[in-house]
Amino acid sequence: MLVGYVRVSKADGSQVTNLQRDALASAGVDPGHIYEDTTSGKRDDRPGLAACLKALRPGDTLMVWKLDRLGRDLRHMVNTIHDLTTRGVGFKVLTGHGAAIDTTTASGKLVFGIFAALAEFERELIVERTKAGMAAARARGRHGGRPYTMTAAKLRLAMAAMASRDTKVGVLCSELGITRQTLYRHVDPEGNLRPDGQKLLDSQRLTTKVG
């Protein structure tokens, strides 16, 4: 069975899904088997996508108009498509940059493999940069073995690291020379600034202007 998923996009002004629905219908998707979301592709709480993924069965094929309808984060899209493949569900993109992706064909699987490799490369680059930044911060900020409080440089590194699901909080705190309490007082588990973190950055900007 062919199943479709559509999502509006503020980026290109597509506040309606008529074009996407028409394209899916032309590709053979029954209108009753099309799921829809009206929220950002960056959000995890997309009920339409969640219902769509839950409804898919082995032998089905999920179709989208463009690859970015599935999401705007490359790793999230690759992981989602990989999970579908593991479940025996195909995935096909109708147009746009990802139009060559069709996991029901050998050539389409090859293209998806390239996308997956790029996502892995991106992840490794982020990890390497984070480690290098931590090492530099440690070299500049450690004296006498005593853990230092949060600095603006450490805060920026912590924000980047916490935004990655692969980050281990204990290791991060050890690298930065701070406690978990200090870390979570400045950033939340997703790497977003908390009030103390915002005050720290505002204070640094004020000092820089005065200097």
| Tens-digit pLDDT profile for residues 149-175 | 788 888 888 888 888 877 888 888 888
Residues with a catalytic annotation lie at 9
What mean pLDDT do residues 74-85 have? 82
Beta strands (DSSP E) in the chain are 2-7, 34-37, 61-64, 90-93
Task: Give the pLDDT band (50/70/90) at residue 187.
Answer: very high
pLDDT digits (tens, 9 = 90+) for 26-54: 999 999 999 998 876 566 678 899 999 99
Enumerate domains of the chain plus CATH numbers.
2-104 (3.40.50.1390), 125-210 (no CATH)
- The more confident residue out of 144 and 88 is 88
SS3 state at 61: strand
Non-local CB neighbours of 142 within 8 Å, separated by 6+ positions: 148, 177
Does pTM top 0.75 for this prediction? Answer: no
